[in-house]
Amino acid sequence: MNRRSFIKSLAAAGAAPLLPGCFSAKKYLANAKVRMAFVGIGCQGWYDMESFGMFPALFETVALCDTDMGAKHTHNAINKYPKAARFQDFRKMFDKMEDQIDAVMIATPDHSHFAIAMDAMRRGKAVYVEKPLAHTFEECELLMKAEKKYGVVTQMGNQGHSTIKYHQFKEYVETGVVEDVERVVAHMNNSRRWHKWNGQISKHPGPEQIPATLDWDTWLSSVKSHDYSSKYMMGEWRAWFDFGCGCMGDWGAHLIDCVHQFLLKGDLPTEVKVVEQTGWNPFVYPMSSTLSFKFAANSRHDDLTLDWYEGVSNLPPLPHGFVWDNAWGDIPKSSANNPNEAPKLHPGKEMYQRDGKVWQSLSHKHPLHVVGDYERKLPDYPSEFCTHYEGFLRAVRGEMKTLSPFSVAAPLSQVFTLACLAQRLNRSLKFDPVNKKVIGDAQADALLKTNPREGWEEFYKV
């Protein structure tokens, strides 16, 4: 008797219903390999698969799913795992293999994270979901509720949250090394997250022939119907309001994750101010954007302002004594730069304390340093600790807890969705973080929720 039939037999006999989360990892996965399904197997998905692949003793690949199965970007995964079952529609995968899957990795475009994760969680599957967690504020809220209801292991894919950066930040805040931070400036100025349209878009692109390998209807997920266009594919979806969360959704998860968890205690802002935007239009994200978030003081933290700069030339003012880190986060012995070479500002943040001390760091795994004091000894940590991927697998086996579960990642992602909303409407927003409503702006408040197209409404019920 399979698991679904077992639950149905109990219900028929009048027994109390069993939620999927009742089948804990400790009971049926201890010392066993996690049976993984991968949904979205190209680009970032392939990177994630390779990262999971570093721990072959902990998992096995049982299913591959991609709406464009057979396209060039799926070949690496297909060739590496030829025995894994293949699907284009995650719903068909779960219906056919529900009892053969323990955990799911989701690395699809932002707009489709939610439905796949919700379906998996309802079926009792652990979920690893790439950042940002979801496309709308409501979707993040529902995934938090689902995590609590179904009791499954969850992890968002902001990989730096399982590195020395996380452990150092946590210890520095808890021991008072970092304290009384009043302003954080975060910036992403690399060229890789900007599209080529420079605001010159007056409508969605016209229809093109759908590739033979692509299940376009499933790719659209719960979003309203659009004609197929190659301008949405291979990462370009991130630039479109209807499909992606822009630069903030992509890089905010690396740059402000620890700030949000340890300084802001997971709180939501009271205001998102649009300071400046260039290349704005109602279809794709601006070419540059400066936003300022206000987090009001409460019993857990003081007032804090988070300023966000995105855009290749939209550089923030830097503190006196700032050192130009190299791409790997190494601090040079001297702050002197080659006068013949303009320094490049890498994605990172600066944190300003009320006493005048300033901290700086790059994203992902790079530790904090005090501006002007680069010889500070870092805390002593084990030479090895679990990566984001190993931590997820071990959590599914019941051996530890993940560091970026939805209870942590969803509020962080909600900050991103509020930023995206302000960028889309090109206006500042006042927000009630207790009742989770936009104040005095009915249009913005309505856009906190998803209006799923017909046939996808079922996923929006917990």
DSSP assignments along 48-104, one per residue = HHHHHTT-TTTEEEEEEE-TTTTSGGGHHHHHH-TTSEEES-HHHHHHHHGGG-SEE
Q: Which amino acid is present at 319?
A: P
Task: Find the helix or strand (DSSP H, E) in which 165 lies.
Answer: helix 164-174
SS3 percent helix, strand, coil of the chain, rounded to 5, is 35, 20, 50
Please state, in angstroms and rounded to a whole number, the distance separating the CA atoms of residues 405 and 135: 17
CA separation for the pair 34, 57 (Å, rounded) = 9
pTM: 0.90
Compute the distance between CA of residue 270 and CA of residue 330 in angstroms, rounded to an integer. Answer: 36
What are the pLDDT tens digits along the chain (462 aa)? Answer: 333 333 333 333 333 333 223 333 444 465 589 999 999 999 999 999 999 999 999 999 999 999 999 999 999 999 999 999 999 999 999 999 999 999 999 999 999 999 999 999 999 999 999 999 999 999 999 999 999 999 999 999 999 999 888 988 999 999 999 999 999 999 999 887 778 877 678 899 999 999 999 999 999 999 999 999 999 999 999 999 999 999 999 999 999 999 999 999 999 999 999 999 999 999 999 999 999 999 999 999 999 999 999 999 999 999 988 877 654 455 554 444 454 455 678 899 999 999 999 999 888 877 888 887 655 556 666 555 789 999 999 999 999 999 999 999 999 999 999 999 999 999 999 999 999 999 999 999 999 999 999 999 999 999
Tokens standing for 164? Answer: 């020395």
